[in-house]
């Protein structure tokens, strides 16, 4: 069958995984354009031309893990470590709220300093001050009781990328003490508790094959997350993957569009990594079916210390500058920003 027919099937949600494999193996630039148009029309059916913003607060660069791809890994002695105080975090929220943001994402390494008691206090304070905002956490793997306590304190969403749904590939990306099964259990627990859950993966990470990507897409199909975060893998000079090839803009856009068609109602960010891979990467992401952007609200003084990969953009600007810059970018592709929590549409 021709790829154009496969894309039509995908839009009707009748495609099988054999056909998806063919598309992954043989898609051309022309197929990609057809796919992007299909993804845009599906996004517009559910969300119109609205783009939702999430204000990212990178509150700790300490991490006990040693993920091979990440600049914050424990083994990187050159990484500069910092922790924001609760007051720093609240100031970021206040600035974000004034800029029209209605979702705050607290993201950090796996840092034992931030115990359940400390996290719950922070979440409670934000919940109390901003009852109209969503609170998203992205703190990696914790136990179910911890996830529950933070949910009870007022958190609504959790981002935990599965990174790859292929166990052998997971072992290429992580040391032995990290297991895909643990990660997937955590995702299930989060969903069970009632969080809106986001998973996701890097495109073009070392060792990733088409079979890995098929496993990822199959996992997304069965798990039905509310959000999917994908961006290109970008090497960091002080990690074991320093000399590996970066993931490409084109492959990331292709996967964004595929995901939009597989999960029509998903909240799909055009990530900072995509904007780092190409100066117009985020705009192109919106044109391939994405509908979320994540402006950085972290204090400028710490931004360069949260270096997951080399060349990360938006590390020199104030939050207000970032917000204005994003507004221009969104308008340049005919979309508009909503002052809204940006919850998933119900199906
Ligand atoms: N510690 C938390 C959150 C911070 S890392 C966690 O791991 O979940 C957030 C995401 O950054 C990771 O899930 C990973 O997919 C992405 N990331 C890390 N290093 C990267 C790199 N070199 N290139 C692209 N993305 C990277
Ligand atoms: Fe830590 Fe997350 Fe980086 Fe892994 S990806 S080293 S858990 S900050």
Q: What was the pLDDT predicted at 13?
A: 87
Residue 189 CB partners (closer than 8 Å, separation 6+)? 144, 147
- The finding on whether 183 has its CB within 6 A of some atom of ligand 1 is no
Judge contact between 341 and 131, C-beta under 8 A. Answer: no
Nearest alpha carbon, ligand 2 atom 6 = 73
CATH of the domain at 53: 3.20.20.70
Residue 260 pLDDT level (bands cut at 50, 70, 90): very high
Residue 345 lies in a domain: no
Q: For the segment 207-222, what is each residue's pLDDT rounded down to a tens digit?
A: 999 999 999 999 999 9
Residue 346 pLDDT level (bands cut at 50, 70, 90): confident
Distance CA 76, CA 87 (A): 28
pLDDT tops 70 at residue 285 = yes
Mean pLDDT of the chain: 97
User: How far out from the chain centre does Cα 329 lie?
Assistant: 19
Residue 346 lies in a domain: no
Tokens representing residue 140 in the block? 């990696």
21-44 average pLDDT score: 97
Could you give phi then psi for residue 197, rounded to 5 degrees? -115, 140
Distance CA 252, CA 189 (A): 28
**Would you call 279 exposed, middle or buried from its count of C-beta atoms within 10 A (0-12, 13-18, 19+)?**
exposed
List the alpha helices (DSSP H) in 165-233.
Answer: 167-173, 180-193, 210-223
* Gap from CA of 95 to ligand 1 centroid (Å): 25
Residue 343 lies in a domain: no
pLDDT tops 80 at residue 337 = yes
Mutate to test the pocket of ligand 2, among 63, 74, 81, 202 (most ligand atoms within 8 A of CB): 63
Residue 192 lies in a domain: yes
* Gap from CA of 56 to ligand 1 centroid (Å): 13
Q: For the segment 90-143, what is each residue's pLDDT rounded down to a tens digit?
A: 999 999 999 999 999 999 999 999 999 999 999 999 999 999 999 999 999 999
The kind and range of the H/E element at 228 are: strand 227-232
Residue 218 lies in a domain: yes
* Gap from CA of 253 to ligand 1 centroid (Å): 18
pLDDT tops 70 at residue 347 = no
SS3 246: coil
83-96 average pLDDT score: 98
Residue 265 lies in a domain: yes
List the alpha helices (DSSP H) in the chain.
Answer: 3-11, 17-26, 29-47, 86-98, 116-129, 144-152, 167-173, 180-193, 210-223, 249-262, 272-277, 281-287, 300-303, 319-332
Q: What was the pLDDT predicted at 333?
A: 98
233-258 average pLDDT score: 98
Distance CA 314, CA 298 (A): 10
* % pLDDT > 90, the chain: 96
Q: What was the pLDDT predicted at 240?
A: 98
- Dihedral (CA of 302, 324, 235, 68) sign: positive
Residue 328 lies in a domain: yes
Residue 40 CB partners (closer than 8 Å, separation 6+)? 287, 288, 289
Q: What was the pLDDT predicted at 1?
A: 84
What is the extent of the structural domain holding 120? 3-338
264-269 average pLDDT score: 98
Residue 286 lies in a domain: yes
The kind and range of the H/E element at 55 are: strand 55-60
Number of domains present in the structure of the chain: 1
* Beta bridge partners of residue 230, listed in sequence order: 201
């Amino acid at each position: 069958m021709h790829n154009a027919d496969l894309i039509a099937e995908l839009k009707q949600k009748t495609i099988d995984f054999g056909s998806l494999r063919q598309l992954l193996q043989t898609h051309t630039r022309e197929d990609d354009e057809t796919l992007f148009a299909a993804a845009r029309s599906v996004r517009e059916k559910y969300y119109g031309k609205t783009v939702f913003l999430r204000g990212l607060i990178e509150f700790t660069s300490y991490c006990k893990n040693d993920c091979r791809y990440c600049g914050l890994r424990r083994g990187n002695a050159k990484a500069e470590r910092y922790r924001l105080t609760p007051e720093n975090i609240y100031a970021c929220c206040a600035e974000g709220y004034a800029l029209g943001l209605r979702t705050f994402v607290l993201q950090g390494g796996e840092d034992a300093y931030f115990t359940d008691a400390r996290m719950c206090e922070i979440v409670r304070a934000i919940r109390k001050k901003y009852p109209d905002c969503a609170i998203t956490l992205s703190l990696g793997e914790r136990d179910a009781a911890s996830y529950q306590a933070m949910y009870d304190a007022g958190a609504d969403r959790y981002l935990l990328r599965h990174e790859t749904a292929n166990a052998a590939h997971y072992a290429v990306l992580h040391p032995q003490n990290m297991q895909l099964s643990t990660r997937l259990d955590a995702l299930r627990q989060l969903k069970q508790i009632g969080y809106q859950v986001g998973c996701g993966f890097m495109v073009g990470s070392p060792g990733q094959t088409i079979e890995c990507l098929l496993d990822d897409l199959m996992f997304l199909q069965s798990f039905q997350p509310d959000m999917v975060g994908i961006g290109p893998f970008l090497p960091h000079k002080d990690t074991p993957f320093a000399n590996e090839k970066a993931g490409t803009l084109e492959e990331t856009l292709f996967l964004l569009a595929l995901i939009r068609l597989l999960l029509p109602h998903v909240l799909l960010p055009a990530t900072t990594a995509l904007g780092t891979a190409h100066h117009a990467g985020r705009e192109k992401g919106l044109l391939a079916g994405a509908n979320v952007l994540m402006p950085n609200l972290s204090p400028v003084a710490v931004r360069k210390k949260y270096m997951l990969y080399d060349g990360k953009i938006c590390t020199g600007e104030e939050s207000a500058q970032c917000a204005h810059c994003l507004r221009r970018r969104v308008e340049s592709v005919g979309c508009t920003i909503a002052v809204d929590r940006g919850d998933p549409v119900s199906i």
